[in-house]
Amino acid sequence: MFRQTILCHLHFTIVFIGAVNPAFIPKTNWFADAQKELQRSLRAQRNTNIAKNVILFVGDGMGVSTVSAARILRGQLQGRPGEETVLEFEKFPHVGMSKTYANDLQTPDSASTATAMMCGEKTNGYTVGVNDNVKVGNCSSQPGNELRCITDWFQDEGRSSGVVTTTRVTHATPAAAYAKTPNRNWEGDSLMEGYPLEGCGKDIAHQLVFNSTLKVVMGGGRVFFRDNTTTDPEWDIPDFKRRDGLDLVAEWKKMNKHKRAKYVWNKAQFDKVDPSKTDHLLGLFEASHMNYELDRASDIAGEPSLAEMAEKAIKILRKDPKGFFLLVEGGRIDHGHHQNNAMRALHDVLVFEDAVKKAVQLTNEKETLIIVSADHSHVFTMAGYSLRGNDIFGMSNNPTKNFDMDGVPYTTLSYANGPGHRYGYRNISDVINSTSLDFKQETTVPLRSETHGGEDVAIYARGPMSHLIHGVHEQHYIAHVMAYAACVGPSMCDRSGYK
C-alpha cells in the first residue's frame, strides 16, 4: 500500500507540472468584462414579434454539469484553458430552468419529458403523446386521452414540421413530435407482440409514415421500417423487422410519389439532396441509432453529422412561406452517459452546439424562436478542485487536494452509478487511462446502465417572445411558450400588452 501511494504521488507530481502552464492562462480584465456584459444587458430589448419559425433543440441528458464540462472541452480543443469558453446557446439572451419530473416519476424518462416539452402537459413515464390518464402499456386507457402537440398545431395553420435526431427516429424524444402510444418501446410492430392491444393504435414507425405530417425526418432506425424480406444495406437485425409485411420506406415513397421527395440512407445520397428542389426528405442512416460523433468517420457507408442534418432540414423547411417547426435532438449524449463514457457524451454535445450555431446562421432572430434545453439530466459530476486548464478528462491535479484515504488520484469527471464501478480497492490502473476514448469514469453504485438525474435543467432562448423564458418553469411550459410565440394551438396572439 505504501509503495502504491508513493507511485501515485510521483505520477501526479508529473501530471501537475505538465498540465498547467501559467503562461497558458490568458490575462483577463474581469472588472471590464463584467461592465461590458452589464451594458449589453441594459441595452437589451424584448422581441415581441410573431414567430414564423420555431426550432426546439433537445440535448438528451444534457444537464448543467454536462454543459459545463462540454464548455471546457470546447475551449481546450481550441488551445485555451477552457473554463472561459461560451457555447453558442449560452450566448442566448434569455435563460431559465426546467423542472423535469414526470406525473408519476421523481426522476423522469425521455418519453414523458419530450411529451411535456412538445404537448404542453406532464404525463406518466414511458408514455408518448398522451395525457396522465394513460398507464404504461395499458391500451384500454388510451382512447380519448391522446394529446395534440406542437406539430399538430403547426399543421392546423398550414405550416411545415420536421424532426432530426441521432437516435432512431422512433425513439422517445422524436416520437413525441408525432406519435401517440402508452409504451415508448413499441417502436415497431415486432415489439408489440404478446400485449393486449385493443384500444391502442399502430406502432410508432407505422404512425410516422401514415399518421404524421412531417416533411423532413432524419436519423437512424431503419430496422422498424423494413419487412422480413428486405436485407439491410449495412447490418441486419432480423428479430426486430416488421411482422405486418409492410415495407414502410416503400409506403412512404408511394405516398409522396407526386411530390418532390427523396429517401436517403447514406452520406453520399444525403449530400446530393438539393434543398431547393426537395420538399420531403426521409433519411434513415443506420439500422438502429446513428453513430456517436467520435465514431462517425468509421462508418463505411457514411452518415451526416447532426449539424449537417439540421442545416439541410432548415433549408428545406424554410421554403414554406408560412413558416415551420423543427425538432433537433442530440440523442446520443444520453447514451454516452448511460455507459459512463464521458468522452463520447461530451463530443456529442459539441456537435449539438455546431447544429445550434448553424441554425443561428441560417435564420433571422426577428422571426425565428430558438429554444435549447434538455429533457433530463444525468448523475454526472465535475469535481475535485482541479487547477484551471486541467484536461477535463484527466485526473484532479491540485497537489494539496488530490488524494484521499486510499492514496489514489481520481478523475475530474465521475458518475453516481453505472457500469464504470470498480470493485475492491481502487488503484492507479483504474484512472491512468482516463483520456482514452473507451474509458468509463468511476461510479459509486454498480449498475448495468447509468441512470438519469432528477435535478432541473437549463432552458436557453432567443427570438420572438424568448423573454418568456425567465425563471424556474415546469417543463411543459416550454410548449406553451412556443405556441404563444408562433400563434398556434391553444395560444392567444394578442400582442397589445407588449411594447
- DSSP letter at 74 equals H
The three grid cell numbers given for residue 29, joined into one nine-digit string: 480584465
Tell me the three state secondary structure of residue 279: coil
Cα 350 to Cα 7, 279, 354: the distances in Å are: 36, 29, 6
Helix axes 110-119, 477-486, angle to 10 degrees: 30
Per the listing, cell 440523442 goes with 331
Q: Report yes or no: 241 and 187 within 8 Å, Cβ to Cβ.
A: no
Give the span between the Cα atoms of 34 and 459, in whole angstroms.
Answer: 22
Cβ neighbours around 103 below 10 Å, total: 18
Question: Who's near 368: CB < 8 A, 6+ residues apart?
Answer: 51, 52, 53, 54, 55, 359, 463, 464
Catalytically annotated residues: 110
The three grid cell numbers given for residue 299, joined into one nine-digit string: 462508418
Cα 467–Cα 101–Cα 475 angle in degrees, nearest 5:
20
SS3 content of the chain, % helix, strand, coil (to 5): 35, 15, 50
Cα 362 to Cα 55, 316, 328, 357, 365: the distances in Å are: 12, 12, 14, 9, 10
Q: Report yes or no: 241 and 306 within 8 Å, Cβ to Cβ.
A: no
If we measure between CA atoms, which residue out of 212, 198, 205 comes closest to residue 142?
198
Cβ neighbours around 256 below 10 Å, total: 18
The three grid cell numbers given for residue 25, joined into one nine-digit string: 492562462
